[in-house]
Structure 1
């Protein structure tokens, strides 16, 4: 397929819409409820199992490496213990079943069966198939899974691949910028669109001491000031990181072309907006979405 040059940020805007739709599963009780039936009652264990299951029964080192921004001790608390309770293949199946329940609840049958949803699935799958596996473990692992038959699940599946393709690409950009996973989180939290520190620490396992150490490293590089705010150099670095991620993540959206990417962005954006209106996301996340 011939690749075409895209206007700036077209791919990023498309991926943001896709990621919003994909992320509904992370704020849903469906997968934790399923896994509770297997004796897994910690929400973080459910998250780690659900997102890493496509890698196989991976150990904590592999999951820490692939996820990048999680404290290894948090990962090792749950991985590989979860695989003694449930197989990774079962978790893959339960995650898809959970996505189905979540989307049906927050979108409704009319949206799921609409021709636009099937069109978006076709576009997203075309984009996902154009991704590059090399150096992208999470994208590649999910790309090995079969494509669901129902359009709304095929769309969610493709959104998952595209989310992980950008995530794997972003890790490459972070490493090139010599930012550890925690340093990246701290600098992002201090940015305009960043998650609040309290949420990041609770979800990633970092301590106050860890966080303070990362701030010291960023200050030593001139990226953060004494009040925990990004300097102009820090702001520029975050912008450069996103631009480099755009470059590394461009192939899926170049495969669609500007018109196809815009069409996919519009349809998925409306679906994500409907999900948000029906309570799919917590209020603090909606506030971050509103800044974009």
Structure 2
């Protein structure tokens, strides 16, 4: 296997592209329909169920810890009740059906059946061979799941592994930086690349009062200014966080090699652009307001 060194941010660019395609199913009506058939209709219950099912029928503490930026009270309203409604194995099967329908709808049958899709699956799975289990609970749980036979589902499975591998490492970096779950979200939103506050309130369970309190703590540390913008120190911290996350996540992309990373990024960009063009995400999802 290739172990050539790659440009420091190449792995991050590749991950961001693949993560965009992975995340489409969270906003898909296909997911809601499949989970509703199992008796899960609340959007937050659906989210906790499909992402947490690989962990097994765990309690709210495990979900809150591994998801990191959700308010525990919100998690506890739905977990472990979701497992009483449907078993994790049923939820995982429903998730796979929803992903299949979502990718076919957003990308089209021709793209799903293309050689480019099969190539993307091979490259992403090869990268995932170098992911590490230690200290990465969400990645490790998903790595225990079988790889689907269909190339588009295998590709999506690999994007999930790479997404959760980076995410688990990112949480370790956030802890080291002294940012709790909401503070991490507030600082990310302040970069202009994170989720808009109204979506944080809707999907993560935090209130405007919680947001304001987190902003106050960040101002005390000199990371935010009075307008809620990152200070020079705040910008530097966010850059350090991403760079350290890159370092912890470099193995899969170094394993794939520079040429493979470039090709996977190219293929992933094409699929992600098609999904975005097809309306995969709400128009106001990202932003400071």
**Bin for the TM-score computed over the shorter chain:** over 0.9
Q: Does 1:236 align with 2:236?
A: yes
Moved over 2 A (4+): 1-4
Segment drifting more, 182-191 vs 62-71: 182-191
Q: How many corresponding residue pairs?
A: 287
Within 5 Å, which residues of 2 pair with 1:34-113? 34-113=34-113
1:1-292 pair list within 5 angstroms:
1=1, 3-285=3-285
> Any idea what the Cα deviations from partners look like across 1:52-71, whole Å, max 9, x if unmatched?
00000010000000000000
Q: Is the 8 A contact 2:34 2:97 kept in 1?
A: no
Matched residue SS, 1:24: helix
Take 1:211 and 1:53, find their aligned partners in 2: how far apart are those partners? 29
- Residue aligned with 1:276, SS: helix
Q: 1:124: how far off?
A: 0.2
Counterparts of 1:20 and 1:246, CA distance in 2? 17
Per-residue Cα deviation, 1:166-186 (whole angstroms, up to 9, x for no partner): 111110110110111111011
1:282 & 1:168 partners in 2: Cα distance?
Answer: 26
RMSD of aligned Cα (Å): 1.1
TM-superposed deviation, 1:192? 2.5
SS at match of 1:279: coil
Structure 2, gaps ≥5 residues long = none
CA distance in 1: counterparts of 2:31 and 2:278, whole angstroms: 19
Report the 3-state secondary structure (helix = DSSP H, G, I; strand = E; otherwise coil) of the residue aligned with 2:192: coil
Give, in angstroms, the shift of residue 40 of structure 1: 1.6
CA distance in 2 between counterparts of 1:262 and 1:205 reads: 38
Q: When the two structures are superposed, what TM-score results if normalisation uses the length of structure 1?
A: 0.96
SS in 2 for 1:284: coil
Separation in structure 1 between the aligned mates of residue 195 and residue 70 of structure 2, nearest angstrom: 15
Moved more, 189-198 or 19-28: 189-198
Q: How far 1:3 sits from its partner (Å)?
A: 3.0
Deviation at 1:2, TM superposition (A): 5.8
Q: TM-score when scaled to structure 2?
A: 0.97
Structure 1 position 210, deviation (Å): 1.4
